[in-house]
Structure 1
Amino acid sequence: MTALTQGPLLGFDTETTGVNPFRDRIVTAALVGRGPHGTEQRTWLINPGVEIPEQAAAIHGISTAHARANGMDPKQALAEISAELTAAFSRDVPVVAFNATFDLTIIEAELERHRLPTIGERLGRPLSPVIDPLVLDRALDRYRRGKRKLVDLCQVYGVEDAGNLHTADVDVAATLDVLAAQAHRHPELLTQDLDQLHQWQAGQHRAWAQNFNSWRASTGFEGPGASLHWPLGREDDDAPAVPMASHDRSVA
């Protein structure tokens, strides 16, 4: 499989008003396409139509006033973003996202909120193929100690000059660089076709989430744990327990 090393790949990231993908809104989004012919990038600043909490604005740098003055209408932006993602999935181009469950779930929820066709509805099938460097790292280096935020994986995999993480376009570039480094370090990834890799990640995520939730229960933590579902969460499932910043949306 050459997709992990040569592309084409479509990286995706969002910055949002909060950490609940079913209730919160997208503030910025970025798509970065990489392939044999180079790199293309698109970014969106969106007026989410609600107040951006100070905690979220402190991380991604977008205030309510700035989004209202400069942001796109959400319906237009969501239509453009979803069209790009749908086109990639339709051509079996892998969509690469760090903690993909959050970003793919929130855009599907936003599309429903604005009464636009979801990506799944457009495809007529589940969203795939998806590649999630966080899921890969948990599976391939299960016993490594320490955090697994995007900034941590950049250090682990030798990705330098990640730039100003917490902005969607920089996060996407760093995520794609981490994936390339993972493929180099773990060449066994290259032996799976995209469908196999997608299904393998779903199983690995479920196993990790079950173990994580068992640990939470054994230590007395209350509240929702990690969703068992990947790459889309389910509203009737336990919501992912995630920190605020998009590239920090990992629970362990």
Structure 2
Amino acid sequence: MNATPTPATSLPNFDPAKMLSFDLETTSADPFEARIVTSAMVTITAKGAEPIELLADPGVEIPEGATAIHGITTEHARANGQPHDEVLTKTITALREAWNNGLSVVVYNAPFDLTVLRTHDPSFTVDGLVYDPFNVDRFKEPYRKGKRTLTDLSAHYGVQLGNAHEATSDALAAARIAWKQLKIWPELGTMSGEELMELQAVKFYEKAISYRNYLIGQGRDASTVGTSWPVQSQGE
């Protein structure tokens, strides 16, 4: 489990008034194959929300299935996007700066987005607090029926989503869900950063192992079910 960030310094508590909410739209649903199409980073402080969205030319054809989700075609990305590696570098730099400034990084389904970054830059490390609204929802309300997509959770928590699968809208929705979760479960904001990271990693691991065992019991392939949070390792 990737529960412990790199620095030895202690992590601040999660404060929804001091966060950077981050979201990627990509070429694939496989984080080990996906290339970045858009990267959105919304800094939220007492000053308000400051969004930045970067469009990348992923350097490969964007599959029709991916375009159907986020609306960006290969032609549009090639004509208007920055080189993929520049967007990757700018994104990682922004996350590191956020952590250095004491902000938490909010990522909905963190093991996807953060694994994409690690796949393209193996030097990328988690250097601060990560808060994953999707993971938190699963272990805080494990028996609630229904899907847990960002659209579903936005409706459940009563927050505005905007244009689903548009990176900035998704990042803002994740931030709003995180804020609502802290209202419902204030203990998440009183835990130390290390405690909160460990809790999320342990709960993710337990859920993944349970799902693996279910698949094995059904005679199905369980090899693609990752157990590490907030970054996955290929072949783990």
**TM-score with structure 2 setting the length:** 0.90
Which runs of structure 2 are paired with 1:33-182 in the superposition (5 Å)?
Answer: 33-112=43-122, 118-120=123-125, 126-159=126-159, 161-182=160-181
- Find out whether 1:4 has 2:4 as its counterpart: no
Q: CA deviation at 1:9?
A: 0.2
Matched position secondary structure for 1:50: coil
The answer to whether the Cα contact below 8 Å between 1:94 and 1:129 also exists between their aligned partners in 2 is yes
- Quick check: 2:37–2:56 contact (8 Å CA) kept in 1? yes
Structure 2 residue 191 is matched with structure 1 residue 192: yes
CA drift of 1:222 comes to 2.5
Q: 1:88 to 1:14 in 2, by over 3 A?
A: same
Q: Tell me the amino acid that sits aligned with residue 46 of structure 2.
A: P
Q: Indicate how the Cα distance of structure 1 residues 2 and 236 shifts in structure 2: closer, same or farther if over 3 A, else same.
A: closer
Once the two structures are superposed, residues 10-54 of structure 1 have per-residue CA deviations (whole angstroms, 9 ceiling, x without a partner) of 001000000121222010110001011211111011000001100
Q: CA separation in 2, counterparts of 1:91 and 1:198?
A: 18
Q: Secondary structure at the match of 2:227?
A: coil
Contact 2:13-2:190 within 8 A present in 1 as well: no
Contact persistence 2:57–2:78 (CA under 8 A): yes
- CA deviations over 1:123-176 (Å, ceiling 9, x no partner): xxx4431000011001111111111111111111111x3111111100000000
Cα RMSD of the aligned pairs, angstroms, is: 1.5
Letter in 1 for 2:53: T
Please give the TM-score of this superposition, normalised by the length of structure 1. 0.85
Partners of 1:87 and 1:93 lie apart in 2 by 9
* Cα distance per residue 1:80-104 (max 9 Å; x no partner): 1111111122333211000001101
Structure 1 distance, partners of 2:13, 2:135, is: 20
User: Structure 1: any 5+ residue segments left out of the alignment?
Assistant: 113-117, 121-125, 238-252
Q: CA deviation at 1:233?
A: 0.3
Structure 2: which amino acid aligns with 1:93? L
Amino acid aligned to 1:81: T
Identify which range, 99-108 or 83-92, moves more after superposition: 83-92
Q: Tell me the SS of whatever aligns to 2:57.
A: coil
Confirm or deny that 1:213 pairs with 2:234. no
